[in-house]
Amino acid sequence: MNEILDKISRIGIVPVIKIDRVEDALPLGKALCEGGLPVAEVTFRTEHAKKAMQIMNKELPQMLLGAGTVLTKEQVDDALEAGAKFIVSPGLNPEIVRYCIEKKVPVIPGCANASDIEAALSFGLTTVKFFPAEPLGGLKMIKALAAPYVNVNFMPTGGIKESNIVEYLDYDRIVACGGTWMVDAKAIKEGNFDRIKELTQNAVKTMLGLELAHVGVNADETSAEDVAGEFASLLQCETEPHSKSCFAGKTIEVMKNKVGTHGHIAYKVNSVERAVRYYESLGYTFDESSKAYNDDHSLKAIYFEKEIGGFKIHLLKK
């Protein structure tokens, strides 16, 4: 996968933004970054798109910016001059795709059917935009199209929202989803960028599905079950011995061997693989030796490399 497309895949959600006022560009970009989505598809549907992208590129170099709704060669040129790292179009225009390839910029053309996908493949493209996703049949249609085109991945946009994004991202042929619900037009118009940040944070939480699983308490081989028993008595629950630990109910895991300076905290996530890719995109690293797998070889659990406040942080598959 192209390096830029890999970065998009790691982040998972691409906010699709429309800039009506240049002065909104910087606070909007900051809100997205602070909310956990340092990426945006800036649609070239307004006269301010190029200037807005230039501002965000200069002031927010950590952002991965692409141009959307690109319909002409001139818009490709404007987007590249403004610092766009990828181009997205609503449909597949062979002239635009060819021009992007000549310019050596990743292009994600809109595809709505098998003929569009075959046209994309003829240009050597294996990642396409599925647009408009929900009106065209949503995930069911994507899976139908993916079946004969085994090397094609999709970035659906159109009708994706907080209530259905997890279902889309659970499908391994979807690299990321484009969406607008976190860039609420009313909030932008009112200058309420704290609301944009909040919506963005909620989008990330929904994508990851973060949920506190249990707290790990350090003990040793001889005391773990006794310590778990004390917690069980306090919490009015049963103990559950395992080879490396003993649980008191579902919320306390007493370790027979030390994990973390003070212990560990485990969080359940929708997909450990996607959570790892997302956090790696933000610069976090993981303890590769801590990986555990399910019977189907999917990633079941992993620890972050760094401790926080003396606690190791553990991700678990829901």
CA distance 44 to 168: 26
Q: Which tokens hold the place of 85?
A: 């790292």
Q: Is 171 left (phi over 0), alpha (psi -120 to 50) or beta?
A: beta
Cα angle: 85, vertex 199, 63; to 5 degrees: 20
CA distance 304 to 276: 9
Choice among 7, 18, 41, 197 that is catalytic: 41
Choice among 129, 197, 256, 312 that is catalytic: 129
| 3-class DSSP assignment, residue 111 | strand
CA distance 53 to 175: 23
Q: In what order do the strands lie in the sheet with 211-218?
A: 239-241, 245-248, 252-255, 211-218, 263-269, 311-317, 299-304, 286-293
Based on the residue annotation, tell me whether 85 is a catalytic residue of this protein: no
87 beta partners: 67, 107
Based on the residue annotation, tell me whether 250 is a catalytic residue of this protein: no
As annotated, the active-site residues are 41, 129
